[in-house]
Every structure is written in C-alpha cells, then in structure tokens.
Amino acid sequence: MFDKDDIIVESGIGTFKMIHTSAYILLVLTVLYAGFVIKSYISSKSKELRLVAFEEEQRKDPLYDETSMIQKLTDIQETIDEPEYIDYTKRILKQLLAAKTLSDDFVEIVENNDQPIIQNIAKELVSIRVHILQDAKSIYRRLIIAKDGANIETKLIHNDKLLDDADSLIVEAINYIDVKTSTSEIDLKNLTDSLKELIKLI
C-alpha cells in the first residue's frame, strides 16, 4: 500500500506532468498563432504593396480614370436640380464616350497598319480623348457647385469641333488606306497637324 507521502509525491508528479504538457501545448498553439498572424501580415502587406504599384502604373496612363469619371458624371445627374446643368452633364458624357469610340474604332479599322501617318492619327485620337477627359474633370468640378455655365459651354463647343474634325480625319484615313480617293499622305498630314493645332488652341 502507498503511504501518505507516496500519494503526495505521485500527485505532485502527475500535476507537474499535466502542467508541463499544458504549457507545451500552449506554447505550440502560441507559436502557430504567431506564425499565422505574421503570415497574414506579410500577405496583407504584400497585397497592399502590389496594389500601390498597380495604381502607380495605372496613373502613368493618362486615361486611367476615364471610366471613373464617366461613372461620376452619370451619378451626379441625380443630384443636380438645374436643367441647364443636367444638359451640360449629358453633353460632356456624350463627348467622352464619342472620343473613346472614335479612338477604339480607328484601332480596329486600321488593324495592324504601321504606316507612320496612320500611327500619328491614332496618337492624335488618343490626345483628343485625354483632352476631353481633362475638360470633363474641370466641368465636373463646376457641376458640383452648379456655377460657371459660360465656361462649361465654351469647353463643350470646342470639344464638338474637335470631335467633328477627328471624324473627318478618320474618313480620310480610311480612304487613304483603301486607295479609293485621291487622299494623299500630305493631305492626312495636313489634317493631323490642323487637329494638333486645334488641341493646342483650346
């Protein structure tokens, strides 16, 4: 039979083993949790850095916020009370979409035509998109306060002129590619230069 001292010793040893095992399990769980937290932090930080790098890369594209501006102009129509400013919003939206369509359609029309004059026209069409996007931002700021309608109107009129000239240039470029008319490279260059000058004047 165990005497009292043996029972106490055995009980103490059992308690020690239980505490030791519990401490070991707790340590393992703590290490695992710490590893999980560190891994999550590194993953989150890495994702954040990738997102920042992506946004910085996007900002190098002058048209990176074209889609968001279209959405802003669409949304602001719900908050404007003055019919005149609602009309301004619709007009600049139409111009933004028209400039994008002209540029995209031209790329599809010319396919892989790498003639310098055709490439220059493509660049000018992108320049028009950028110009109208910048005007859209300027107009949007004025739409928020519903002020300076005369300035908005001036920008819209100039943009209509730009789009009309760009449309004519595309028609001549197609004729040049198809060799259906007497349109020459010099004619296209003159039209392109005129468009450049018009952008500078606005």
Q: How many CB atoms lie within 10 A of CB 72?
A: 17
Digitized pLDDT (tens) for each residue of the chain, 202 residues in all: 545 555 555 666 667 677 778 778 888 888 888 888 888 778 777 666 665 555 565 567 889 999 999 999 999 999 999 999 999 999 999 999 999 999 999 988 887 777 888 888 888 899 999 999 999 999 999 999 988 999 999 999 999 999 998 988 888 888 777 765 455 666 677 777 766 666 665 5
Q: Which two tokens stand for residue 191?
A: 């039209």
Q: By C-alpha distance, which of 66, 68, 129 is closest to 98?
A: 129
Helix (H), strand (E), coil (C) string for 7-38: HHHHHHHHHHHHHHHHHHHHHHHHHHHHHHHH
> What is the model's pLDDT at position 197?
67
pTM metric for this prediction: 0.65
The answer for 148, left when phi > 0, alpha when psi is -120 to 50, beta otherwise, is left
Angle between helices 149-178 and 116-145 (to 10 degrees): 160
166, 102 in Cβ contact below 8 A?
yes
> What is the model's pLDDT at position 201?
55
Instruction: Give the start-end residues of each E strand in 6-159.
Output: none
- How crowded is the C-beta side of 119, counted as CA atoms within 13 Å? 5
Distance CA 47, CA 53 (A): 10
pLDDT digit string (tens) for 107-130?
Answer: 888 877 778 888 888 888 999 999
